């Protein structure tokens, strides 16, 4: 019997994502001026206020208030009527120095002996149902909101959009776990006040979402995915009605509250640790990226159609305590999942410092990951410039989304005789 599976995404203007982006902007600035910085930054945003907290050990000093304001303005919170804007909000910093008791378990005489920054388990996942090896429902949800943000910034085809938004996509699957059709699409978008009555307002928003937004999203997808869009899709557009009050004025936002949006939309598994604001010594982040890198290369190499990778650590300990593989019965090799896991352990060095080096994680590469998912994006090399009244100007060429590279496929094929 066929079944339904749903994933959601949230826009860059969603309060929790505003918080994530501020935390990662702070992290990037610390790493730009001092690559050895140890950072764990949390952000809270609410009506007219931003609170920064956390622990930092760094040789650099930053104007954290100004960095937060720049992020907020770039997202689009620039108007007084939003009750939250980068130019007028208050910014309170409660950031303090990292505990030496934590640091002594991480830093060692030899960098390759660096211990894990925390205990815990991290997961990576990949599936061949999309070209970027991401779950389809989440991939479409992200694209809906990215296109919606483009339309908001352009302001020509739809001129009433505000930054806060959410999307949700439900896919119908066959008994063979193959996507058959899109069953339901939910879009809730913040908007300017309308002069018309509420019914006319909602009718206009639905007309624009279905007639302008969705065709643009569909055009970005491969033909086989476009075929899943039919005339029987159920649309819920702003189902609660008016959505003028939004963003941090409508809801308090916190760093790390969208961990499922950030990863696989409910597919696979999650260890519970958030990403944003954490430097790569925190395995919550770096090992999750490394596990995605492993899973994606395994699926791309043809080891299985779908792979879940779990890795676990003890704080201050160099070697992972376990590596687990689940292929959900889709393995294409004559090996058990346990045997695949042992081979993965031989192929991929999962010690914290090895992960940092392999994926080039001690660079200012994190702000771009803080909205529309940390996984599934295209690796690229960009030049970034950071300026500070205390540290001068730094220009760096960095590689984004290294954990998405298919750079180990040939090695995996050789190891698994594919």
Q: Residue 414 is encoded by which pair of tokens?
A: 């050789």
Q: DSSP secondary structure string, 211-230? A: IIIHHHHHHTS-HHHHTT--
Cβ neighbours for 399, distance < 8 A, ≥ 6 positions apart: 360, 363, 365, 379, 380, 381
**What is the distance of C-alpha 98 from the center of its chain?**
25
**Has 16 been labeled as part of a binding site?**
yes
**Has 68 been labeled as part of a binding site?**
no
Alpha carbon distance 253, 249 (integer Å): 9
**Has 42 been labeled as part of a binding site?**
yes
**Has 165 been labeled as part of a binding site?**
yes
Alpha carbon distance 51, 20 (integer Å): 12
Alpha carbon distance 106, 96 (integer Å): 18
DSSP letter (8 states) at residue 379: P
The answer to whether the CB of 309 falls within 8 A of the CB of 124 is yes
**Has 395 been labeled as part of a binding site?**
no
Helix (H) or strand (E) run with residue 3 in it = strand 3-10
Cβ neighbours for 392, distance < 8 A, ≥ 6 positions apart: none
**Has 396 been labeled as part of a binding site?**
no
**Has 164 been labeled as part of a binding site?**
yes
**Has 32 been labeled as part of a binding site?**
no
Alpha carbon distance 279, 117 (integer Å): 10
**Has 55 been labeled as part of a binding site?**
yes
Q: Residue 92 is encoded by which pair of tokens?
A: 């309170």
**Has 334 been labeled as part of a binding site?**
no
**Has 274 been labeled as part of a binding site?**
yes
DSSP letter (8 states) at residue 197: -
**Has 175 been labeled as part of a binding site?**
no
Alpha carbon distance 82, 73 (integer Å): 12
**Has 24 been labeled as part of a binding site?**
no
Dihedrals φ, ψ of 83, to 5°? 60, 20
Angle at 93 between CA 89 and CA 99, to 5 degrees: 155
How many C-alpha atoms does 287 have within 13 Å on its Cβ side?
34
Numbered residues of the known binding site for L-methionine: 55, 98, 251, 282
State the binding site for ATP: 14, 164-166, 242-243, 251, 257-258, 274, 278
Binding residues for K(+): 42
Return binding residues for Mg(2+).
16
As annotated, the binding site includes 14, 16, 42, 55, 98, 164-166, 242-243, 251, 257-258, 274, 278, 282
């Amino acid at each position: 019997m066929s079944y339904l599976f749903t994933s959601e995404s949230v826009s860059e203007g969603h309060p929790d994502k505003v918080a994530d982006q501020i935390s990662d902007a702070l992290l990037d600035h610390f790493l730009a001026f001092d690559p050895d910085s140890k950072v764990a930054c949390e952000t809270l945003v609410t009506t007219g206020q931003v609170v920064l907290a956390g622990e930092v050990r760094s040789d650099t000093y930053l104007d954290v208030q100004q960095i937060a304001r720049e992020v907020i303005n770039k997202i689009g919170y620039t108007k007084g009527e939003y009750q939250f804007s980068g130019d007028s909000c208050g910014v309170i910093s409660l950031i303090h120095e990292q505990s030496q008791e934590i640091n002594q378990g991480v830093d060692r005489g030899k960098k390759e002996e660096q211990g894990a920054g925390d205990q815990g388990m991290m997961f990576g996942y990949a599936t061949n149902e999309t070209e970027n090896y991401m779950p389809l429902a989440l991939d479409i949800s992200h694209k809906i909101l990215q296109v919606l943000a483009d339309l908001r910034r352009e302001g020509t085809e739809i001129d009433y959009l505000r930054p806060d938004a959410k999307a949700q996509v439900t896919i119908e699957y066959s008994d063979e776990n193959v996507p058959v059709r899109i069953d339901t699409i939910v879009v809730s978008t913040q908007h300017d006040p309308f002069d018309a009555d509420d019914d006319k307002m909602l009718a206009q928003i639905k007309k624009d979402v279905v007639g302008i937004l969705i065709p643009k999203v569909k055009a970005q997808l491969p033909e086989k995915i476009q075929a899943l869009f039919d005339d029987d899709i159920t649309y819920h557009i702003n189902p609660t009605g008016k959505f003028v009050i939004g963003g941090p004025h409508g809801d308090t936002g916190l760093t790390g509250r969208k961990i499922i949006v950030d990863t696989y939309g409910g597919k696979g598994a999650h260890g519970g640790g958030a990403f944003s604001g954490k430097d790569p010594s925190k395995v919550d982040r770096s090992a999750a990226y490394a596990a995605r890198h492993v899973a994606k290369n395994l699926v791309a190499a043809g080891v299985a159609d779908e792979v879940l990778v779990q890795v676990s650590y003890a704080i201050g300990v160099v070697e992972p305590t376990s590596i687990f593989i689940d292929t959900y019965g889709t393995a294409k090799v004559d090996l058990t999942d346990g045997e695949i896991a042992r081979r993965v352990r031989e192929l991929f060095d999962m010690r914290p410092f090895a992960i940092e080096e392999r994926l080039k994680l001690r660079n200012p590469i994190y702000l771009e990951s803080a909205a529309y998912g940390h996984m599934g994006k295209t690796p690229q090399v960009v030049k970034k410039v950071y300026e500070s009244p205390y540290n001068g100007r730094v220009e760096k060429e960095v590689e984004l989304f290294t954990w998405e590279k298919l750079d180990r496929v040939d090695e995996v094929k050789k190891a698994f005789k594919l």
